[in-house]
Amino acid sequence: MNVLPPASELQRAFDRRDSTYDGVFYTAVKTTGIFCRPVCPARRPRPENVEFFATPREAMLAGYRPCLRCRPADTVRDRAPEVERLLRAIEADPSGRLRDADLRRMGIDPSTARRRFRRHFGMTFQAYHRARRLGGALAEVRSGAKVIESQLAAGFDSGSGFREAFARLFGAAPGRIAEERAPGRGAGRAAAKGCLVARWIDGPLGAMLALANDDGLHLLDFVDRRGLERELGRVARRFALVPGAHPLLDRAEEQLAAYFRGERGGFDLPLAPRGTPFQRGVWSELLRIPPGATRSYAEIAARLGMPKAVRAVARANGDNYRALVIPCHRVVGSDGSLTGYGGGLARKQWLLDHERRHAGGAPDPVTAAR
């Protein structure tokens, strides 16, 4: 996780092609769908068409592909032939999947090529490909309301790029959107149970994806978090995902902004019933941890009356895909170490520091009683 300098500073550095910012941020151009290093010799786009990203991965998850001139994702200039071939295979079909057998068929030795790829890009072949693949679907979420309006105008069955992108990733979504959409609701309101409305939410710790319907919030997590693609696959087997507007997503976005400003520590959002009874038990314990405080996995297990279930608690904690709202970041090791976090340890540390700073010195009821 990298936190970006202010936009005015980025724009200045970009205008000057300031090489001291190489690796600090990346610029993406909305009109071309390409992202670059700030020093790229390519023609400068109009400022209103530029977006800034802290890492190549974030730019890819937002749907951009790397520039062929400045090669923004490469850590060194020269590419080994294996690296070049893996890249070409990805770009030939970013939404596809490439298994070892596919690589062997192309005459590529998978283990050597993957090792070189990782060294070259500082991320695994799998992570790189996933970012390109997921980015295709998430780009459609980002354009959100616009897509759904054109869908409404054209009739749902015309098939949106969004639904196609998700169908390519996860298999066909349930084809019941048209019937289940409640008639007469506001534009873009997919009220039916067969649908989840998706929204991209930008924030200081990176972009988040939110999914909700009238049952409540189903998912809210960092787009680059570990396991997100698999979780989206699970969700997409049960629901059709459509970008658009939902009052719950408006509330989620407002509350997130207030949380990041330090104006609120918790959230007041209905949560859709998800998970096994055990997971729900763990998650409801997490909801009791006040902002600014932490608990250990062992404490959560003890509170559930299952003191030996520490590892199962840790797993259920990691299976929470409603980040911040269900505060799994407030669970740490018994020695106070951060242990793990789906969104990365840097984010976890940031969140805990942020909450301690803004908790306003209110005593943690549990610690106080100890």
Residue 234 near residue 188, CB atoms below 8 Å: no
Give yes or no for a contact between 28 and 70, defined as CB atoms under 8 angstroms apart.
no
Interface with Zn ion, residue 39, by CB under 5 A:
no
Q: Which residue has the tokens 């909305």?
A: 30
**Number of residues binding to Zn ion, judged by CB under 5 A:** 6
Stretch that binds Zn ion, among 35-43, 151-159, 243-251, 253-261 (CB under 5 A): 35-43
Closer Cβ to Zn ion, 15 or 100, answer by number: 15
Nearer to Zn ion, 66 or 342 (CB): 66
Q: H/E element holding 229?
A: helix 228-238
Q: Tell me which stretch binds Zn ion (CB under 5 A): 30-38, 97-105, 207-215, 325-333.
A: 30-38
Residues 284/285/287/289 CA torsion (nearest 10 deg): 180
36 is catalytic: yes
240 is a contact residue toward Zn ion (CB under 5 A): no
Collapsing DSSP states into helix, strand and coil, what is residue 26? strand
Place of tokens 């407002």: 254
The least CB distance from residue 39 to Zn ion, in Å, is 9
Contact range with Zn ion by CB under 5 A, out of 36-44, 79-87, 256-264, 352-360: 36-44
Per CB under 5 A, contacts with Zn ion among 46-75 are 67, 69-70
Strands 208-213 and 50-53: unpaired
Closest to Zn ion by CB, 43 vs 105, is 43
Please report the sign of the dihedral spanned by the C-alpha atoms of residue 314, residue 315, residue 320, residue 323: positive
Using CB under 5 A as the binding rule, whether residue 357 contacts Zn ion is answered as no
* CB-based contact 153:76 (threshold 8 Å): no
Q: Is 40 a catalytic residue?
A: no
The dihedral region occupied by 361, where left means phi > 0, alpha psi between -120 and 50, and beta the remainder, is: left
* 40 lies in the site for Zn ion, by CB under 5 A: yes
Give the nearer residue to Zn ion in terms of CB position, either 27 or 317.
Answer: 27
Active site residues: 36, 328
Residues in touch with Zn ion (CB under 5 A): 36, 40, 42, 67, 69-70
